Structure 1
Amino acid sequence: MTKPKTDSTAGIAGIFEDVALPAAADRTTSRRARKNTGRVTLSDLAALTGVTKVTVSRALNTPELVSVSTLERVRAAVQQTGYTPDLVAGSLASNRSRLIVALIPAMAGSVFQETVEALTTELAANGYQLLIGQSGYDESREDALIDAILGRRPAGIVLTGVVHSRDARQKLRESGIPVVETWDITREPIDMLVGFSHEKVGKAAALHLLAQGVTRAAVITPGDRRAQVRTQAFVKAFAKGSSIEIPVITIPSPANLGDGRRGLARLLDEYAAMEAVFCGADILALGALIEARARGLDIPGRLRVIGYGDMNFAKDTDPPLTTIRIDGTRIGKLAASLLVERIRDGEVDRRVVDVGFKLIERETS
């Protein structure tokens, strides 16, 4: 017995009981379009629902402008076909992108995670999507990413730090795209800035230890520029209260827990009389605490430890870690609001926002 032929659109037709299926020629054209582009188009949805492309577009973008029945039919077709909108084509048609791009050095175990989460949430609430680019700590890599980003004309760009190559800064200024620099401070931002002073962070850590009577301190720090600024400020401030040389162990960025252990081990072997260590990242401080415990050192009696970042584990170390807290969530929210305001109005009330920082004193110092 010959099996009767079935129409491939029968599943869709069952959803739209009051809609006539498109003519065979139309269905062939629709299938050809999908075959050529690899995706379902607005034309396909229009043919399946029996309405115009304009109506389908309204149902997807301004659903309040179409009837409930039409909206239900379009949504059913979207679910059945797996349709996804072509955001690039949409932005070209309207000359407005809804994409914001953020460049950060690293994601895993990063102090930037709160900022990324806040950016994503705040931008989504305003109809924008966030795309993350991981630049590492290599300026040439950042330049290449910036070139790629500018060629795609996003609605806005979020950068980590304020030191970029002269060529990159010039291209960003001339692009006309709103830019927010974050996690640093400068008197000459490219466009807008939300950050804090790394120099003041290093000074605050030094003054904290000096106030506790420490006369011999050392530093374990990542090698990136912002961490180096904190280290130099720490050494300068501490030197005013002590004539003892301040040893510095520099770790390639991004640093890890093992780097903290090895860094402290080296310091203890070469500078046994040191009384405190300032770690340029909480993960380094955690490694230092583990090494100190392995050697049976009393914290903070024998050795005081300060971190940077107030990562989610800092309050749960043994003992709880004294560290510098940066409000990454606030940085993300402010960066998003500045971008949205700039895109919408062409100008912002404040171009530079200093969010400051806070030294969180716990039991390691």
Structure 2
Amino acid sequence: MSPRVTMRDVARAVGKSTMTVSRALRDDQTVNEQTRAQVKQAAQSMGYVYDSTAQVFRTQKSGFVAVTLPSVNNANFAETFRALSNGLEAAGLQLLLGSTNYRVEKEEQLVRQLLARNPEALILTGGHHTEATRALVQAAGVPVIEIWDLPSTPLGHVVGFSNFDAMTLIVDHLVGQGRRKLAFVGASDGADLRGAARREGVIAAARAHGLPDVTLIDAGPAPVSMRHGRSAIEALGTDVAQFDALVCVSDPVAFGCLSTVQRMGMKVPDDIAVTGFGNFEVARISNPAITTVNVDAQKIGETAVSLLRDVFDGGAETTVCVEMGCSLVAGETS
């Protein structure tokens, strides 16, 4: 294995001091433009990677923002991450990502590790955290933004929406079409807290309309997907015919349910309605197209970036809560 190229090696190659090379790589304007270009060209050709550790100690700025996401496989979370990454890169910052797999205990572990790297800000997906996580964040003294939720006791700034309230859109729509016997298909209790809020939102909205109790269909541990929706309906068998509508925690789960009831010979929406959540691509290309709730995942990321830049510029001194709207996308499955 070849030895790692050092700053001293670059300095020798260009005939400059290591201090000059260091300043050139940091775009220090005290080094003339020609020298900066010469140093950068030499560093690139030699495969030198600038070690920013010393700069962190000098400036107390690491150049990155830490973010936690429940999953990197979820298309909506991936879209939010792209918006965060693109927006912060334009501001000269990079993202350091940690995946919680929908578990607050995992989030606690990640937050501890991420804060050890001295991030300039922390973006957490969701508003439910362990007490240890809350203590770590509050002691860190860095800007915090919670996204994709509206926590009752926020740790800092918030860019999100109420998963509970969003389900009223679905239930109101189904009731308007004469549906009365609803079943909710979602993950087991415990990990998916946003999914749990959607479940409770369906139950509350159904009660407000005077409907019979919503039947809860457990699709398995989070994260649940198309195959979980399929398996849940296969396990239910012909008993699924007792329901007027399957209200699913997400579009992938809805697609799994939809394809399964169709294979069983049921007509959608004539025999049973199927709804999802998230306005994923699968909902739009499905045949029939799935009725869902649109959440602007990209806008959540862009708004978080805008808010964070305000914080860095000295604005947003008090807690800011930006509530994002949701809208019903009436497809062909209801």
- TM range, smaller chain: over 0.9
Please state if 1:338 is matched with 2:303.
Answer: no
Q: Amino acid of the residue matched to residue 85 of structure 2?
A: T
Identify the residue that residue 283 of structure 1 maps to in structure 2: 252
Please state if 1:328 is matched with 2:293.
Answer: no
Question: How far did 1:145 drift?
Answer: 1.1
1:314-334 per-residue CA deviation (whole Å, 9 max, x = no partner) reads 110011111111111111111
* 8 Å contact kept, 2:180–2:244: yes
Q: Distance in 2 between matches of 1:159 and 1:128?
A: 17
Q: Amino acid of the residue matched to residue 42 of structure 1?
A: M
Identify the residue that residue 59 of structure 1 maps to in structure 2: 24
RMSD across aligned positions (CA) = 2.0
Please state if 1:246 is matched with 2:211.
Answer: no
Identify the residue that residue 354 of structure 1 maps to in structure 2: 323
Please state if 1:195 is matched with 2:160.
Answer: yes
Q: Distance in 1 between matches of 2:116 and 2:280?
A: 35
Relative to the length of structure 1, the TM-score reads 0.85
Task: For residue 248 of structure 1, give the secondary structure of its aligned residue in structure 2.
Answer: strand
* 8 Å contact kept, 2:27–2:36: no
Larger-gyration structure (1/2): 1
Q: How does 1:166-315 map to 2 (within 5 A)?
A: 166-223=131-188, 224-250=192-218, 251-315=220-284
Please state if 1:125 is matched with 2:86.
Answer: no
Gap runs ≥5 in structure 2: none
Q: Distance in 1 between matches of 2:308 and 2:139?
A: 17
Task: For residue 242 of structure 2, give the secondary structure of its aligned residue in structure 1.
Answer: coil
Identity of aligned residues (%): 31
Question: How far did 1:350 drift?
Answer: 6.0
1:179-220 per-residue CA deviation (whole Å, 9 max, x = no partner) reads 110100024210111000011112221111111110111110
Among 102, 111, 129, the residue aligned to 2:76: 111
Q: Amino acid of the residue matched to residue 207 of structure 2?
A: A
Question: How far did 1:267 drift?
Answer: 4.1
Gap runs ≥5 in structure 1: 1-33
Q: Amino acid of the residue matched to residue 206 of structure 2?
A: F
* 8 Å contact kept, 2:245–2:274: yes
* 8 Å contact kept, 1:279–1:308: yes
* 8 Å contact kept, 1:193–1:351: yes
Q: Amino acid of the residue matched to residue 46 of structure 1?
A: A
Alignment length, in residue pairs? 330
Identify the residue that residue 36 of structure 2 maps to in structure 1: 71
Once the two structures are overlaid, the 10-residue window that deviates more, 340-349 or 72-81, is 340-349
Question: How far did 1:284 drift?
Answer: 0.3
Q: Distance in 2 between matches of 1:243 and 1:330?
A: 35
Q: Distance in 2 between matches of 1:363 and 1:89?
A: 58
Question: How far did 1:113 drift?
Answer: 0.8
* 8 Å contact kept, 1:341–1:348: no
Q: Amino acid of the residue matched to residue 295 of structure 2?
A: I
Question: How far did 1:243 drift?
Answer: 4.1
Question: How far did 1:277 drift?
Answer: 0.8
Q: 1:266 to 1:241 in 2, by over 3 A?
A: farther
1:78-110 per-residue CA deviation (whole Å, 9 max, x = no partner) reads 122101111222211211111111111111134
Task: For residue 214 of structure 2, give the secondary structure of its aligned residue in structure 1.
Answer: coil
Relative to the length of structure 2, the TM-score reads 0.92
* 8 Å contact kept, 1:91–1:97: yes
Task: For residue 231 of structure 1, give the secondary structure of its aligned residue in structure 2.
Answer: helix
Q: Distance in 1 between matches of 2:86 and 2:282?
A: 23
Q: Distance in 2 between matches of 1:248 and 1:70?
A: 68
Q: Distance in 1 between matches of 2:52 and 2:251?
A: 40
Task: For residue 303 of structure 2, give the secondary structure of its aligned residue in structure 1.
Answer: helix
Q: Distance in 2 between matches of 1:70 and 1:149?
A: 36
